[in-house]
A and B are shown apart, each in its own frame.
Chain A
């Protein structure tokens, strides 16, 4: 029997192969997934290396990357392959042997691609971004790159403030990538055809900056006024002053991925995933994803059902996840659940709802889906008191939570997991301790149904994010976050059935440093990378000391970047980038938060003019204009019967009243 290999194996694979027996989990580096593509490369074809700057098992399931991989490969003038950050063991061997970052599809060197595009979903991967650029053999600073170097592009949620990494990237894509990758490909195809002659890179970058949704940092001048940002202005008249995100109007036009990659080795989400809608209008003020992905665009229920049945058949998976920011809000949820369960047969396929809404109705759906294994359910009340939930606009009543938990326990689930944030604006110790109180009450409800019910209370430190109403809020200090965790620890000590878990408060600090910084922060990121600080999302590699040392070495102040409240007139580093949300809407929502005023879901109430629909001439795409039954639907009003949400508009205040409403935002910090 011959040991036949794919004909596409290049010389790089031959050099890599002997290293693989020496590293952990070598299957990370072989590709070979079902759905993998080995596209042709050539002069008229623009080659993209779609890269996730963390390990294969984290990066492979990333839906955005897989969608664009397929869309580019469907183009006659496009070729896309994939790369992931090699783990430290392989990286050391690669650097020793001079092996560059490579694609897993055909093991082609990263430097041979026309464009290396990174998905940035978490700020702590920034040092890995720099490391991957370096491993590709490309200068880490965009300014030092030559015409023959690949372009470095980034997309994903972090790009709504790309300023901290602006020095390392050539272009940034804001919003949905489905359409814009084609426009970029067309432009680069012509450049490639012309031979990428010396001195033409700058011109191409300038042309790229005119494509809507594309931000080219080098086309902008940044001015400072002391430590404050004064202005970010285009260097040329034809470069837009403000870059608007891209939004696909109708998800039905984009039934991707059609060939979801099925990995040969274990990955974090090892199941079929079908995106049921994009965007969210619940309006949770802490949630960047909900703010930047508006408006809501649902996929037609029949398309969802078809993608599930075809996907399961093709992949051989026995589990499907219906993804969105709040899947129970999907108008077609009952149809899809019905179709899937009857299609597959009970017990053959399990359906995961990754983000359960907190109410009994949702638990009912979960019960229908998980007829077999009922182990744990997860809810995210996010804050411990009604007052606090009004501030963050997560309008879940205690009755909603208890109804959901009671319903879950009575239907056989025994373990509940509750997600909370601490360090929220105006949070008092009473609010923090409310988290423990909810946990205790939930486990008490469980005792009616089980001998040893369990509730895991998971607490994360709140990190304010750009393009949200909380972008002006000064993050709680690390000692303050730690104090709050300790408060909960001591309050829950000895409470049977309640386990407390908390996110490393030092990691929240590092995330805070990177999330709202300006271009000056690039030097600190480079410092951390240069001192070995890669894989900062991994506790065994994370080092807060390195980040603090980096800030000090670059003359940057933690207090100024993380802990300080911003004022209304301050120029924010991302003001020249737009997720469609009007700044005055965000500011008003911030003031409303401080006054504990909730704002209802705009799918079912008149428009608040946040800007996401009106600015782009698009609308919510929902199959049903009324919310499904169950709980309060995040309105704080009993809607267990379903139907229309009573419209109670917040009284519009006058400017005079607004000026008066300037209470200190961080009462608890």
Chain B
């Protein structure tokens, strides 16, 4: 039995890393006494899998974790009360918002998620000028960027991953943008997209609003819309 848990990451705790988050979840799950399944072998680890890493310092309204449970110990489990229980065992700023029951056949979060929507606050920028630079970027057929990966320089096209990008409102000291950025085959990072603008921008605050799964027929769903085999979600709590 596999649970998919949705959670938010807000406030001070956003400065924890993806690795930190894994440890935090392991401890919270142990404290909640949920019957988590453990791997076999000399060094048993809880069977957890995380979705796309959120950069250290970014906040999120839509994070997910998949947790395998020990099928022999799930009787009487109160799925409906789980989000509240888990939140009580998580640090301030991490809030479990929903739990759905899936199974081991559902595709992993890393494979399934195709894009994310981001809210990006930029300081010291003029809304009109920023929108103009965005338009220039979106008009281009390709946006070649060079980055370092595993010690090698790689140059590739960022443009296909920029699904949408626009100024939504002025904020105090700057502007707020909304972007939808693809994750596959090559994901785009918020900071990369901002530095590809001319003139380049630096993010002040970033909030992941959504993660999306686009199916082959073009339908877009949320990771909590779990399809076990082809059936509808089994149980949902919010």
Contact = CB atoms under 8 A, between A and B. Distances in A.
B10 A31 contact: no
A606 interface: no
Interface residues of B, number: 32
B15 A29 contact: yes
B79 interface: no
Interface stretch (B27-35, B193-201, B215-223): B27-35
Contacts of A25: 17
A318 B91 CA distance: 18
Interface in B15-30: 15-17, 19-20, 23-24, 26-30
The range of chain A's interface size is 20 to 34
Nearest to B62: A1
B136 interface: no
A263 to B, nearest CB: 9
A317 B27 contact: yes
A397 B238 CA distance: 65
A26 B15 contact: yes
Contacts of B38: 347
A81 to B, nearest CB: 15
A105 to B, nearest CB: 11
B23 A266 contact: yes
A495 interface: no
B11 interface: yes
Contacts of B185: none
Interface in A23-49: 25-27, 29-34
B90 to A, nearest CB: 9
B31 A27 contact: no
Contacts of B43: 372-373
B93 interface: yes
A560 to B, nearest CB: 48
B11 A5 contact: yes
B16 A265 contact: yes
A314 interface: yes
A567 B92 CA distance: 59
Interface stretch (B53-61, B67-75, B160-168, B176-184): B53-61
A402 to B, nearest CB: 26
A30 B59 contact: no
B65 interface: no
Contact of B204 (A1, A2, A18, A313): A18
Nearest to A25: B17
A27 B10 contact: no
Contact of A314 (B20, B31, B204): B31
Contacts of A2: 10
A26 B14 CA distance: 9
A264 B16 contact: yes
Closest 5 CB pairs of A and B: A316-B27, A26-B15, A316-B31, A30-B12, A316-B30
Interface of B: 8, 10-13, 15-17, 19-20, 23-24, 26-31, 38, 42-44, 56-57, 59, 61, 89, 91-93, 204, 207
11 contacts: A1-B10, A1-B61, A26-B57, A27-B56, A30-B12, A32-B12, A32-B91, A32-B93, A262-B27, A264-B20, A317-B30
Given A5-B93, A32-B93, A264-B24, 10 more contacts: A1-B8, A1-B10, A4-B11, A6-B92, A26-B15, A27-B17, A30-B12, A265-B16, A317-B30, A372-B44
